[in-house]
Amino acid sequence: MLLEKLLSQSFTSAFNLFNHQQLIKPLFWGCSKKFSAPLLVVPIRGSFWERDIKGPRYRKKTERNYLDDMKYGIKELKNEVQLWKEEMSEKFQYDPKVYMPDDSEIVWTFDTKEKLNQWVCTSDSDNKDGFSHCDLTLSKNKKGLFSGFLDCRVPKDGQIKESGYCNIRCLRARKSFKRDSFFDWQMFTHLILRIRGDGRSYMLNLTTTGYFDVMWHDIYNYILFTRGGPYWQVAKIPFSKFFLSSKGRIQDKQDPIPLDKITNIGITCAGKTPGPFQLEIDYIGVHFDGNHTEEFAYEMYNVPSFIVGV
């Protein structure tokens, strides 16, 4: 009887997972009545399926037109197959990639509208947390222009205490068929930007979204200082200078940035000085300096784990 009961629970759970279109391979099935789903699952290797990071219980149940989904899928299939061919060609020709000292690689340029569409602009007014606004457009020099108005007024809702930020952020690194990926910059030591600012200080953000939910908001930050004036400047910032923060708070326990797990890069304008701002960007890239051996710039202390969290 017990064996039949376990088999029944296993088939029921597998059927429910199949209906949710989650192609996962169960490793261990729960024996308790409280669990009708596997306690431990892993994706099947080599498939194009991507898991829902929040799980099926948080997915909104909406009526879907499967005919429209099929038409959209066929439309996107050509582009995704072409991208997959390029990935395979690059893998066989340049894997592993070898970089020499003083080599640089330009990752983003901002000379066309299609390249600007790879970035998302947000501000506090988008979330009804303030009155700032911003945009990313092409300048007259065919460069990316991050501009807007920083407003530090606080909404009178009795909840928000501080306000005033504008941000641009690149889309998540992805592979063909909409699969999540990472920027792998382990061979590089510096982040380089060719910019022309207005004298304000901006915040550079390198997002390293982890597998578990406590790591979804891990961001490494560093200040980008601009000179202002008519001249361009090239900012060359070591990755060892970036410090860890989560949900806007600098963490007591610091670690070097995992350069093979970067998912996004962003630039934020915030502070206590309201008014217009503009930052013109030519390119963003990475650089390999053979003489730079520093792994992490900040001194850490061994303290009890109950003082500094995980």
Question: Looking at residue 35, what is its pLDDT?
Answer: 35
**What does the buried/exposed string (b/e) look like for 192-221 if buried means 16 or more CB atoms within 10 Å of the residue's CB?**
bbbbbbbebebbbbbbbbeeeeeebebbbb
Considering only residues 260 and 252, tell me which one the structure prediction assigns the higher pLDDT: 260
pLDDT tens digits, 201-215: 999 999 998 777 788
Question: Looking at residue 18, what is its pLDDT?
Answer: 38
How sure is the predictor about 38, in pLDDT bands with cuts at 50, 70 and 90?
A: very low
Concatenated DSSP letters of 163-207: --EEEEEEPPPEEGGGEE--B--TT--EEEEEEE--S-EEEEEEE
Region of poorest pLDDT, from 62-71, 115-124, 166-175, 285-294: 62-71
- CA dist 117 and 125 (Å) reads 20
How sure is the predictor about 236, in pLDDT bands with cuts at 50, 70 and 90?
A: very high
Relative to beta strand 104-109, strand 275-287 is antiparallel
Question: Looking at residue 174, what is its pLDDT?
Answer: 86
Which among 268, 269, 165, 264 has a CA at the least distance from the CA of 217? 264
Average pLDDT over residues 96-108: 86
Q: What is the mean pLDDT of the chain?
A: 80
In sequence order, what E strands does 39-118 have? 40-43, 104-109
Evaluate if residue 112 carries a pLDDT over 80.
Answer: yes
Question: Looking at residue 148, what is its pLDDT?
Answer: 96
How sure is the predictor about 19, in pLDDT bands with cuts at 50, 70 and 90?
A: very low
Evaluate if residue 289 carries a pLDDT over 70.
Answer: yes
Helix (H) or strand (E) holding 281: strand 275-287
Question: Looking at residue 72, what is its pLDDT?
Answer: 80
- CA dist 208 and 218 (Å) reads 6
Region of poorest pLDDT, from 50-54, 70-74, 191-195, 215-219: 50-54
How sure is the predictor about 60, in pLDDT bands with cuts at 50, 70 and 90?
A: low
- CA dist 204 and 138 (Å) reads 21
Evaluate if residue 6 carries a pLDDT over 60.
Answer: no
Evaluate if residue 291 carries a pLDDT over 70.
Answer: yes
What are the extents of the domains in the chain? 2-58, 67-95, 104-287
Assign a CATH topology to domain 104-287: Jelly Rolls (2.60.120)
How sure is the predictor about 62, in pLDDT bands with cuts at 50, 70 and 90?
A: low
Cβ neighbours around 136 below 10 Å, total: 19
Average pLDDT over residues 260-284: 94
